[in-house]
A and B are shown apart, each in its own frame.
Chain A
Amino acid sequence: DTGVSQDPRHKITKRGQNVTFRCDPISEHNRLYWYRQTLGQGPEFLTYFQNEAQLEKSRLLSDRFSAERPKGSFSTLEIQRTEQGDSAMYLCASSGRQGPYNYNEQFFGPGTRLTVL
């Protein structure tokens, strides 16, 4: 399967602990996005990468959040000192280079559901 994959699918942690999520985009997609979705809401943009460069971070991304995409392949999202308000589904998406037949459609992974106790 060549779709977007995320790991882990579920994470339960205690408040104050650090957690790290991984996203593997579709091969050769140069853009990778992180979104957060809370219950009953649409996904909200957190940050995105073009190749290895992190080009934009949402104001939703507090100092406790950090994301990386070394070598422009997979990406990690780390949350330090987790709080109960961090409980959400964290979604990763990727999109390919612009071209005559590529519409920058974003393909989403299965998500990581985080529960902070």
Chain B
Amino acid sequence: ELKVEQNPLFLSMQEGKNYTIYCNYSTTSDRLYWYRQDPGKSLESLFVLLSNGAVKQEGRLMASLDTKARLSTLHITAAVHDLSATYFCAVPRGYGNKLVFGAGTILRVKS
């Protein structure tokens, strides 16, 4: 059974600091997705990582995928308050690409 684990589950950061969120998964997959969710809102797609070694960047966020280690990272550079949200990684399972989500990382950026 595919399991997806994120850590940390809660992250309180100072503005301007850097940090990394980790996503481990238990079975082979060549793709991984990162989503952002604001309180009471739906999920916004951030990154689609399609192969081993994939790296994508958007603004202060950079995501990478190591399929051999079954690990993805979401790196935050020089955090700003607007990045405060919950971040989920998700791995597709089986035919139809049903997504298995991690528990989420709640990010709070303090000024």
Contacts and interface: CB of A to CB of B under 8 A. Distances in A.
Contacts, number: 61
SS class, residues of chain B in contact with chain A: strand
B75 to A, nearest CB: 20
B103 A41 contact: yes
Contact of A105 (B4, B33, B100): B33
Contacts of A43: 43, 88, 99, 101
Contacts of B42: 91, 108-111
A109 B92 CA distance: 18
B97 A42 contact: no
Given A103-B50, A105-B48, A108-B43, A56 B98 contact: yes
A104 B97 contact: yes
A28 interface: no
Interface string A36-58: 00001111110010100001100
B93 to A, nearest CB: 8
A14 B35 CA distance: 33
Q: Which bucket holds chain B's interface residue count?
A: 20 to 34
B31 A42 contact: no
Contacts of A21: none
Nearest to A47: B98
A107 interface: yes
B88 A33 contact: no
Contact of A106 (B40, B99, B103, B104): B99
Contacts of B98: 33, 45, 48, 56
A32 to B, nearest CB: 11
Contacts of B50: 103
A31 interface: yes
Contacts of A106: 33, 45, 97, 99
Given A42-B101, A42-B104, A106-B45, 8 more contacts: A43-B43, A45-B98, A103-B48, A104-B92, A106-B33, A106-B97, A106-B99, A107-B45
